[in-house]
Amino acid sequence: MPRKEQGWVTFQTSEEERKILEDFCGQSQRTKTEILRELVRGLNQHSSPSNSQPTINTEEEDIYTQKPEREISIQKKPLKVSSRNILKGVVKRVVTGAVNSEVTLEIVHKVMLTSIITRVSVEELGLSEGKEAYAVIKSNDIVIASE
């Protein structure tokens, strides 16, 4: 049975369009198929009534360079994590550097855990003093030393 009859849709994109889609997939941690399915489902919500005629762009500006009239918000799915060591805490301190930031969580009263992560990650996670966050620890070896 041909792919078209199985529900496959194939289309060609520019390298720039592919890069935009791949970047969005990485940021939202979703597959291209998930993103495109949601986009198609959203078209039904924003389509004009079946009796009206489609609008024709009479402006000289290329339709592909116009800004969209609406924003599409994609909700992130809750993540399942393979790590078994997940510690909930409260951000006690964020020391921001040019590239990396030092984030200190208080796991339980006076038990602190500090991690170095990128400055961009701190911004994307919205980490600030007093906010709840999780330390996810994945390691094959934990070394304990003594003097």
Top-confidence residue, 49 or 100:
100
**What pLDDT is stored for residue 27 in this prediction?**
81
pLDDT, tens digit, 9 for 90 and up, residues 120-140:
999 989 999 999 998 888 776
Distance of CA 57 to the CA centre of its chain: 33
Is residue 112 over pLDDT 70?
A: yes
**pTM for the model:** 0.45
**Domains of the chain by start residue, with CATH:** 3-65 (1.10.1220), 85-137 (2.40.50.100)
pLDDT, tens digit, 9 for 90 and up, residues 83-100:
778 888 999 999 999 899
